[in-house]
Amino acid sequence: MKNGTSTAVVAGALAAALAACGNDSRPSSLPAKPPAVSLVEARPYGLLAPASYRPSTPTALVVVLHGYGSNGRAQADYFGLPADAEEHGYLLAYPDGLVDPGGSRFWNATDACCNFYGNPVDDVAYLGAVIDDVAAHYTVDPKRVFVIGHSNGGFMAHRLACEIGGRLAAVVSLAGATWQNPATCTAAAAVNVLQVHGDADRTILYGGSVSYPSAAQTVAIWAQKNRCAGALQPVGADQDLDLQVPGPETRIESYDGCLAGGAVDLWTITGGGHIPGLGASWGDEVWSYFSSHPKP
């Protein structure tokens, strides 16, 4: 961890001594290998713990994933999560993707976004290690581990739901998408999924492309995996999430009859672009979603 949070990391193993044979004049042992470096040692992450945190109380963990070219803390600030974590009393982790040859931080998410230089980095393993590391130093409630991402981070949130969804209660993707081929998502467990997308997004198209599904297709894929029996239907009144669009512009829709712990929702920001003008209510709405969607 970084940014003022201490982390004790246990890593590595000592090399075994090799015995010399007969009258061989070679040294009786080889130099010890340096300790192995853990994933979180190699890639420290930021963590904020609320003042209300008590080790005796299992606490929710939210992991925020930045968009292409951004970083964890900037993404957390854009979402307003540091103040929100303090208000609602959850742990907030904000890791960074690696820097590509073009100088931009990225996540190796789906084939559409945004590992443009073919780096073999396993970000699923890394982010799983981040969750493990937080849980090693704080009392994390295993039924309330949540992920939220924007753009490239939104794609990565979907990949995590596909590959380690059994460890997560819910994911929120803003302007991301799941795999174009549903078979690539090998989700073995139901996970709550919320897709948020502006229908005027010109970067990650609301209607999809040849390399990623539309917002509606994304939630339809999850509805099939979570065995939702009903259709996508409007739920409640429209919300005002984007300050750049006048009035309550966000349509709330949800599938009926999904598996326990497998709710599937779509929030469409009518007139919203790739970087919505999120107001103070965004953090509260996201936390309201997370807090009402723990693992069963």
Q: What is the pLDDT along the chain (296 residues), one digit of tens a residue?
A: 544 443 332 233 323 332 333 334 444 455 666 677 899 999 999 999 999 999 999 999 999 999 999 999 999 999 999 999 999 999 999 999 999 999 999 999 999 999 999 999 999 999 999 999 999 999 999 999 999 999 999 999 999 999 999 999 999 999 999 999 999 999 999 999 999 999 999 999 999 999 999 999 999 999 999 999 999 999 989 999 999 999 999 999 999 999 999 999 999 999 999 999 998 889 999 999 999 999 99
Structure confidence at residue 20 (pLDDT): 34
The pLDDT value recorded for residue 280 is 85
Structure confidence at residue 11 (pLDDT): 32
Distance separating alpha carbons of residues 52 and 47, to the nearest angstrom: 15
Q: Taking Cα atoms as reference points, which of 171, 150, 175 lies closest to residue 161? A: 171
Phi, psi of 238 (to 5 degrees): -65, 150
Q: What is the per-residue pLDDT for 73?
A: 98
Q: What is the pLDDT of residue 208?
A: 98
**Residues with Cβ < 8 Å from 33, sequence gap 6 or more?**
14, 15
The dihedrals phi and psi of 39, each to the nearest 5 degrees, come to -60, -40
d(CA 258, CA 273): 30
Contact 117, 85 (CB under 8 A): no
Contact (Cβ atoms closer than 8 angstroms) between residue 85 and residue 48: yes
Res 36: pLDDT: 79
Domains and CATH numbers, the chain: 61-291 (3.40.50.1820)
- E strand or H helix at 142, and its extent? strand 140-150
Predicted pLDDT of residue 21: 31
Query: Cα angle at 179 between 173 and 183, to 5 degrees?
Result: 130
Q: Are strands 250-255 and 192-198 parallel, antiparallel or unpaired?
A: unpaired
Chain length of the chain: 296
Q: What is the pLDDT of residue 144?
A: 98
81-88 helix and 281-291 helix, angle to the nearest 10 degrees: 50
CA dist 136 and 127 (Å) reads 14
Phi, psi of 196 (to 5 degrees): -120, 130
2 DSSP assignment: B
